């Protein structure tokens, strides 16, 4: 696992990589995925480093609510309200987590089909 110092999402969230944000608040940023799995594929990440969703436990309710609010705002801004969208996160290698910084995927723009 990577450390906070070499975390690509920390670098993006801090503005170090000059990534264009779809949405930015004091604590959360959202940006387009570089390898989209759907016509809309936006990542929503906290600016503060947390390794995965498993670290969003007691005391992190406010941040979790902000992440979900940001995901919903992105979906609304992209016009996905009527057709539907998926918000998901992964924890660990078996789930497909490739960046060790909690992030939520907002996917939509076509029929996504069932998971599994």
Q: Which residues are catalytic?
A: 103
Beta strands in the chain (DSSP E): 23-24, 28-32, 40-46, 85-88, 104-108
At 24, list the tokens: 């930015």
At 33, list the tokens: 């995925």
Ramachandran region of residue 52, left (φ > 0), alpha (ψ -120 to 50) or beta? beta
Q: Which residues pair with 65 in a beta bridge?
A: none
At 34, list the tokens: 């570089």
């Amino acid at each position: 696992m990577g450390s906070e110092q070499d975390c690509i999402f920390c670098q993006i969230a801090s503005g170090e990589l000059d990534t264009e944000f779809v949405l930015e608040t004091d604590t959360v940023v959202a940006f387009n995925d570089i390898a989209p799995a759907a016509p809309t594929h936006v990542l929503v990440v906290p600016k503060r480093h947390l390794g995965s969703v498993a670290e969003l436990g007691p005391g992190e309710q406010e941040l979790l609510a902000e992440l979900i609010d940001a995901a919903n705002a992105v979906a609304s801004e992209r016009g996905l309200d009527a057709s539907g969208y998926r918000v998901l996160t992964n924890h660990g290698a078996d789930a497909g987590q490739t960046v060790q910084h909690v992030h939520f995927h907002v996917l939509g723009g076509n029929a996504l089909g069932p998971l599994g």
